Structure 1
Amino acid sequence: MALINKDTCKWYPVYTSPRAEKKAYQALSDKGIEAYLPLHKQLKQWSDRKKWTEEPFLKSYLFVRIKEQEQIEVLMTKGIARFLYFSGKIASMPDRQIDELKLLMASPYELEITAEDLKPGEKIMIKAGPLKGFIGEIISYRSQKQLALRLDSLGYSIIVYVAATLIDRF
């Protein structure tokens, strides 16, 4: 049986104060703490103009990659409200989920996020494009076929609009 090294870094989702994601991310970076804040471009409308801005993709969330003993330092950062808990323990995420989220954020596909509990369906794999090899599920949502990546520890599902010709069933 292999020993588990408690000193290894893990990704943890953290909850921020409302509209404090960018400032909390900067404060963590200033402390030398590895953090990831998924951002997406959004066209904002003001009364006199329109402007493209980068907005947090998951409102009030960001991710930190730390050792377990560094949790206190994260909590003492301005803008950080708390860690997320799952089954009574601080939730952590596998590196693979963060890598997939980064890949999705870099893709040219239109993304949408929903807190709906999407029901699992047929497993598929994307066979072409920037997300080639990505595995997901087909869901029925607003009468379109879409690929859904579940981030269960956050309670969200990310929906990617993908043409049916780009997927293989297995």
Structure 2
Amino acid sequence: MHVDPKKKNWYAIYTRSRAEKKVEAELRANQIECFLPLQKKLRQWKDRKKWVDTPLMAGYCFVYINRKEYDKVLQFQNVVCYVTFEGKAAVIPSQQIHSLQKLLKQFEFEVTVSQENFEQGKQVEVIKGPLVGLRGELIDIRGKNKFILRVEKLESVFTIEISSEYISALPEVGVTTH
């Protein structure tokens, strides 16, 4: 199988502890397209409160690279390694990156990350609000509806709490109605 050296894919990289923003800055300075999922959080110190951008997933950054740039990324000081799946750097589907970017652009719902392995639920699509068009799984936790975006290769799940009026069930794949 021939791999096109110019074709770009999204990959997840591990960074050194608390170095996500440094890695992002270094990648951008070297013209490597990257995405660091950040979320505004209110931090409180003894004398003040301040909104700060914090990484949504500690220790991770995403890069959109071709084969030529692959080895170059590993040479940056605070990059540890690629996230691997079955011995190879895991390619993250572009649609999952775009969905995550869309999730983080809205401010109506809080986004959380979980390593919990939720049971697969009903496939749904957001039909109104800032996340229109986003697809994922709906699960019910402690009586509250949660919308799930699963990123399989990272073994992470992004959840938002969303009212049922914002979502619509998608037809089940492989189910035919007569």
TM-score by length of 1: 0.93
Counterparts of 2:81 and 2:143 in 1: how far apart (Å)?
37
* TM-fit CA distance, 1:4: 5.6
Counterparts of 1:95 and 1:54 in 2: how far apart (Å)?
24
Unaligned runs of 5+ in 2: 171-178
Alignment of 1:87-106 (within 5 A): 87-106=86-105
SS at 2:46 equivalent: coil
Counterparts of 1:136 and 1:96 in 2: how far apart (Å)?
11
SS at 1:153 equivalent: helix
Q: Structure 1: which 4+ aligned runs deviate by more than 3 Å?
A: none
For residue 118 of structure 1, what is the aligned residue in structure 2? 118
For residue 26 of structure 1, what is the aligned residue in structure 2? 25
Counterparts of 1:32 and 1:133 in 2: how far apart (Å)?
31
For residue 74 of structure 2, what is the aligned residue in structure 1? 75
Letter in 1 for 2:159: I
CA RMSD of aligned residues (A): 1.3
Deviations 1:64-120 (A, max 9, x none): 111123221101012111101001111111211111111010012211111111111
* TM-fit CA distance, 1:5: 2.7
SS at 1:146 equivalent: strand
* TM-fit CA distance, 1:141: 2.6
Alignment of 1:17-166 (within 5 A): 17-108=16-107, 109-166=109-166
Counterparts of 1:82 and 1:114 in 2: how far apart (Å)?
22
* TM-fit CA distance, 1:19: 0.1
Letter in 2 for 1:11: W
SS at 1:18 equivalent: coil
Letter in 1 for 2:10: W
Total equivalences in the alignment: 168
Identity fraction in percent: 33
